[in-house]
Amino acid sequence: MKNNKKDVYVNITTNQIEAELNREKAKRRNKSTVKSTIAILIVAAAATILVATLLLPVMQISGNSMNPTLQENDIVFAVKTNNLDYGDVCGFYYSNKILIKRVIAKPLDTVDIDGGGNVYINGKLLDEPYIDKKSFGDCDIKLPYQVPEGMYFVMGDNRSTSIDSRSTEIGCVSQDEIIGKVFFTVWPPADFGTIK
């Protein structure tokens, strides 16, 4: 038996070849665009994480110790700084948590608090327009109290409920524990703006 082979000729036009080449080029362009887009998104995400971690940490408020200035679940920005001043709100690490309090006294200052909750720094009454009600609160330190070198004395704005440097449980905060100065509320929208 003889095998008959027939030659098959395909008649392809120049237009068909060009169309197929254009389709292949388009596929390569699309793949390249997708790869570039993914690379850009990865770089942007990494940059955002670095900025949020190193320069502008984002924190969510937990608890009511900073009422009325900050409410539970508010989302705030902080800026990394070694330059904290009286009245600045700062975030710091404490026992695997982040706490938010206000700087009341700097290193080597003397803090005294009377029974009515009035705070004195180096013998001068502290003006505190950010609190609604003064309170002696949970205080088990010996007053007057001298802030140790390299430490900050911090208190919450809601003095009756805040556990802060008045308590030996938390005590003063060292420079190394401070995340940064909390300066801006981003959530909720009604509270959007700088923190006073």
Which one from 6, 35, 65, 167 is the annotated catalytic residue?
65
Concerning whether 101 is annotated as a catalytic residue, the answer is: yes
Which one from 2, 62, 101, 165 is the annotated catalytic residue?
101
Concerning whether 95 is annotated as a catalytic residue, the answer is: no
Write the secondary structure of the chain as one string of H (helix), E (strand) and C (coil): CCCCCCCCCCCCCHHHHHHHHHHHHHHHHHHHHHHHHHHHHHHHHHHHHHHHHHHCCEEECCCCCCCCCCCCCCEEEEECCCCCCCCCEEEEEECCEEEEEEEEECCCCEEEECCCCCEEECCEECCCCCCCCCCCCCCCCCCCEECCCCEEEEECCCCCCCCCCCCCCCCCEEHHHEEEEEEEEEECHHHCEECC
Known catalytic residues are 65, 101
